[in-house]
Chain A
Amino acid sequence: MTAITKKAENPIAHLSPEDIEEIGKRLDAIRQEVIDSRGESDAAYIRRMIKTQRYLELGSRAVLLGSVFPPAFVAGTIGLSISKILDNMEIGHNILHGQWDWMRDPKIHSSVWEWDNATPSEAWKHSHNQIHHTYTNILGKDNDLGYGIMRVDEGQRWAPAHLGQPLWNFINACFFEYGIAAYDLDLGRHLQMPKERRPESFKKGLSATLQKIRKQATKDYVVHPLLSVPTGSFVSTLAANFIANIVRNLWSHSVIMCGHFPEGVETFEKAAIPDKETRGEWYLRQMLGSANISGSKAMHVMTGNLSHQIEHHLFPDLPSNRYAEVAPKVRALFDEYDLTYCSRPLVPQVYSAWHKVVRLSLPNGWLATTNAKNLPQQLVALYKITTADKRKRRVMLKLLERKAKQEQEYVAAA
């Protein structure tokens, strides 16, 4: 991904400031329509969702009490995985956004909700709602891009350590809830500080997170396996819980990667964002910085309606069940102003995101210049780049980039 301002063809160059403000007004109107019509059926939707999730979880855990029997193990593990996904995606994430605060139900409110995830909801609300949703896709400011742990932009200088990033990304996906917890705490930065200089807020957050992790782990890996002991199902229940957590982690990681990482999603430079971004400008950044997943209703529910990532980023506090209804209106606005509405089915979207992870783990231009025939030479070249000293490597990287550019021009000319 290359920041929008550095691209040869800036996809928003054709918009005048008046256009941008008009887009803002039109989006505000779409938002207001939903707010004016929020009501009983929306409230019934989230209550039904919560009830379904709780019954599914209780049922699955009950079945797992006898998980030594393979059918019980399979059914219970599937049920528990789905219930954890529902809890995190359609219920937790959306309630924590305040999407249901308007109901004034003290049990279903962003200020009190806690979810089945390692990171405490308080920490998540700060890092996700405030930082990510405000600074969406601004390089260096939005850690959701993985900026802290990965190379996400061609502009970042390549280093040999980046070769490991596909593996690193996969491990992060498996243990995503802990990755998020670490990221909510800004763990990396704080651990580099001398102990006595770490701020009080970090210590508090750390202890809250550790307590949350302890409670979560006790439930999944101690209490429920112990409850299964009478049927001899200790190990299988433990395994079922572990699998359900991994499934939930892989799934939520995939959905989140699809939201901002696929090809076609724009990123922004810190310097290019005006100090006082207008409502219209903010909306535009959200429009270009997100990608949707097309699919069935069940898929939308399982992704917590983050399949409507574009709509979610435009209106993070509208009830998630209404995104599907506003999507055509938003899309029409994209078309009218000649902007790209990035939407693909799940598999291509996940592929696209992973392809980018792999591409950026390699030096710029390496993947583009590689084919089955020249693979051995390319691998040798990669080895040389990796083992070269800094100065030599910089020259080699430049040469590789130039070669890729020439090939591209050659193909274009032909």
Chain B
Amino acid sequence: MSSSSLSTPFLVRSAQRGRRDGLRRRLRAMADAAVTPLSIDDVLDQFHPLRAGTELRGRIVAVEPETSDAATIVIKPGRDWNGHEPGQYVQVGVDVDGVRLWRCYSLTHGPRPDGHISITVKAIPGGVVSHHLVRKVRAGELVHLQQPAGDFVLPMPIPQQLLLVTAGSGITPVIGMLRNLFSKAVAPTTDITLVHVNQAEPHSIFKDELRAHAAAGRIRLVEHFDDRDGLLDLARLESLVPDIGARTAYACGPSGLLDALEQWYDERGLALSTERFRPALLTEAGEGGSVAFADGTVVEADGATPILDAAEEAGVLMPSGCRMGICMGCVLPMKEGAVRDLRTGETTVAVPGETDPGGVKIQTCISAAAGDCHLDH
């Protein structure tokens, strides 16, 4: 093929596309002019909230109870959903008592043929959002979504030997991985051991599904119930999983378990991937201070509360994301002042004239005021 016969159609195509884009832009400008001060998007959202090109939302398709305090919520995501890998999480925004609250939940299915996504939520004590999702939401309601995120995913190709350790709702990213593996036309040859820890058998989410996999010989399931077996003793881990050193390991669960597991793996020089639902925060509080925003709003924040929470409580619209110091969705420039990292106790200081004139970027979700500070937002 000569170069000219290649480039001519390309040029024609791009010119057509250019004209189409130009026309679309003009049509949009006219539609916007007809509905100002709204944009045409605001109007279309009233009729089709899941359409492409608007902010990502989802419609709840079904709420399926899993245990007495857990439910799976199946959601039809908006057109712009990028798709996810099993093990990733999604940020879900719901209005609880009229207030928009965001939380992260692991996606509990691999990509499904019907395009729906699902999260499985366990109502935790004092958990406003989890209680709302488990007990109050109904099919048909809209939720707000962010694109999937997280690197708690299996590598490709999938390792021959896997160890998955989960505790409580820590099973949720792992069930997504398993469902994805076992829905494939060709069953994987991976040798999988799953150590699944729960307080008691009735609280064990997905136990029937997991037992069915075990019965079919697809996984080796080690169920551990604290009320029956006592607290999981990591000294026994090697006897539970004899070839533990040879297995690529993934763990998800409460901080206590993950900290202990990480230490166990470190001591033996082995690698472990973990997924945390909440950051491990320091217990002692700092001094706190007042946080000033560019529009003149001033919020008093104590030394133990993330600036994000304190500001939202005061009605300031804040960018936010995972709320645990991972996704950088909440980062704002601090022009002046000091904040303390609630995970490490490390203090970050911004001094006009000495630090970046654009401000020092801080993660508001894990930073508490350490004296008065000024955020450029």
Using a CB–CB distance below 8 Å, which chain A residues touch chain B? 38-44, 51, 54-55, 58, 61, 98, 101-107, 109, 111-112, 114-116, 212, 215-216, 218-219, 223-224, 227
Query: Interface readout for B30-41 with A: 1 if CB under 8 Å, 0 if not?
Result: 100111111000
Is A104 a contact partner of B99 (Cβ separation < 8 A)? yes
Asked if B312 lies at the interface with its beta carbon under 8 angstroms from chain A, I say yes
Cβ contact within 8 Å between B100 and A111:
no
From B43, B98, B100, A39 is in contact (CB under 8 Å) with: B98
Inter-chain contacts of A106 with B (CB < 8 A): 100, 317
Cα-based distance from A51 to B362 in the complex (angstroms): 38
Q: Which residues of A contact B43 (CB under 8 A)?
A: 54, 58
Docked pose: A54 CA to B46 CA in angstroms: 9
CB contact under 8 A between A40 and B98, given known A98-B315, A106-B317, A219-B36 = yes
Q: How many angstroms from the CA of A114 to the CA of B32 in the assembled complex?
A: 14
In the complex, what residues of A have CB within 8 A of residue B33's CB?
A: 215, 218-219, 223
Tell whether, in the assembled complex, residue B97 and residue A39 are in contact, meaning their CB atoms are under 8 Å apart: yes
Contact with A219, one of B35, B315, B316 (Cβ below 8 angstroms): B35
- Name the CB-closest residue of A to B312: A104
Residue of B nearest to A105 (CB): B100
Chain A positions within 8 Å of B100 at CB level: 103-106
Instruction: Tell me, yes or no, whether B295 is within 8 Å of chain A by CB.
Output: yes
Tell me the bound Cα distance from A39 to B315 in angstroms.
14
CA distance A55 to B30 in the complex (A): 20
**How far is B99's CA from A112's CA once the two chains are assembled, in angstroms?**
17
Residues of B bordering A, CB below 8 Å: 30, 33-38, 42-43, 46, 95, 97-101, 295, 312, 315-317
Cβ of B98 and Cβ of A223 under 8 Å apart?
A: no
Report whether B98 and A43 are in contact in the complex, using a CB–CB cutoff of 8 Å. yes
Name A227's contact: one of B34, B101, B316, B317 (CB within 8 Å): B34
Residues of A within 8 A of B312 (CB): 104
CB distance from B357 to the nearest CB of A (A): 21
Are A103 and B295 in contact, CB atoms less than 8 angstroms apart? no
- Residues of the A chain whose Cβ atoms lie less than 8 Å from the Cβ of B98: 38-44, 102-103
| Residues of chain B lying within 8 A (CB to CB) of residue A112 | 317
Smallest distance from the beta carbon of A130 to chain B beta carbons, Å? 9
Q: Which residue among A41, A43, A212 has the maximum number of chain B CB atoms within 10 Å of its CB?
A: A43
Specify which chain A residues have a CB less than 8 angstroms from the CB of B34 in the assembled complex: 61, 219, 223-224, 227
* Complex-state Cα separation, A42 to B99, whole angstroms: 10
Give the CA-CA distance A212 to B37 in the complex, in Å.
9
Seed contacts A104-B315, A106-B100, A215-B36; 10 additional CB < 8 Å A-B pairs:
A54-B38, A54-B43, A61-B34, A103-B95, A103-B98, A104-B101, A114-B37, A215-B33, A223-B33, A223-B34
20 pairs, A vs B, C-beta closer than 8 Å: A38-B97, A40-B95, A40-B98, A43-B98, A54-B42, A61-B34, A98-B315, A101-B317, A102-B99, A103-B95, A103-B99, A104-B100, A104-B317, A107-B42, A112-B317, A212-B37, A219-B35, A223-B30, A223-B34, A227-B34
Q: How far is the CA of A300 from the CA of B215 in the complex (A)?
A: 67
Instruction: With both chains docked as a complex, state the minimum distance between the C-beta of B375 and any C-beta of chain A, in angstroms.
Output: 14
Q: Which of B37, B95, B315 contacts A43 (CB 8 A)?
A: B95
A134 to chain B, nearest CB (A): 13
Verify B37–A215 contact, CB threshold 8 A.
yes
Chain A contacts for B38, CB-based, 8 A: 54, 114
Given the known inter-chain contacts A42-B98, A102-B315, A104-B312, please indicate yes or no for A111 contacting B36, CB distance below 8 A. Answer: no
Which chain A residues border B316 with CB–CB below 8 Å?
A: 101
Q: Bound complex: CA of A196 vs CA of B310, how far in Å?
A: 44
The CA of A51 and the CA of B45, in the complex, are separated in Å by 11
Chain A residues near B295 (CB-CB < 8 A): 111
Nearest opposing residue in chain B for A101, CB measure = B315
Q: Which residues of B contact A39 (CB under 8 A)?
A: 97-98
Neighbouring A residues of B35 by C-beta, 8 Å: 219
Partner of B97, one of A40, A105, A212, A218: A40
Choose among B34, B98, B99, B316 the residue with the greatest number of A CB atoms under 10 Å from its CB.
B98
For the complex, give the distance between the alpha carbons of A215 and B99 in Å.
33
The CA of A163 and the CA of B97, in the complex, are separated in Å by 55
Known A39-B98, A104-B99; contact A216-B36, beta-carbon cutoff 8 A: yes
Q: How far is the CA of A42 from the CA of B316 in the complex (A)?
A: 19
State whether B46 touches A51 (Cβ < 8 A): yes
Nearest CB of A to B277, in Å: 22
**Bound Cα distance from A19 to B184, whole angstroms:** 77
A238 to B200, CA, bound (A): 71
Give A184 Cβ to nearest chain B Cβ, in Å: 16
Minimum CB–CB distance from B71 to chain A (whole Å) comes to: 20
Interface centre among A104, A111, A223 (most CB of B within 10 A): A104
Contacts of B101 in A (CB 8 A): 104
Shortest B309–chain A CB gap in Å is 11
- Contacting B317 at CB < 8 Å: which of A44, A58, A61, A109? A109
Chain B residue numbers with a CB within 8 Å of A215 are: 33, 36-37
- In Å, the complex CA distance between A61 and B101 comes to 36
When C-beta atoms are compared, the residue in chain B nearest to A57 turns out to be: B35
Using CB atoms, name the residue of chain B closest to A112.
B317
- Name the distance in Å between A110's Cβ and chain B's nearest Cβ: 8
| Across-interface contacts of B42 in A (CB, < 8 A) | 54, 107
The distance in angstroms between the C-alpha atoms of A98 and B43, with both chains bound, is: 23
Give me the 5 closest cross-chain CB pairs, A-B, nearest first: A43-B98, A114-B37, A101-B315, A39-B97, A104-B100
Q: Are B37 and A115 in contact (CB under 8 A)?
A: yes
- Chain B residues closer than 8 Å to A44, beta-carbon distance: 98
Q: Look across to chain A and name the residue whose beta carbon is closest to the beta carbon of B31.
A: A223
Q: How far is the CA of A116 from the CA of B37 in the complex (A)?
A: 6
Question: CA A102 – CA B99 in complex, angstroms?
Answer: 7
Q: How far is the CB of B203 from chain A (nearest CB, A)?
A: 29
Q: Which residue of B lies closest to A40 (CB)?
A: B98
How many whole Å from B162's CB to the nearest CB in chain A? 40
Closest to B97 in A: A39
Bound Cα distance from A219 to B32, whole angstroms: 9
- Chain B residue nearest in CB terms to A98: B315
A115 to B317, CA, bound (A): 19
Query: Which residues from chain B contact A41 at a C-beta distance below 8 Å?
Result: 98
Contacts of A114 in B (CB 8 A): 37-38
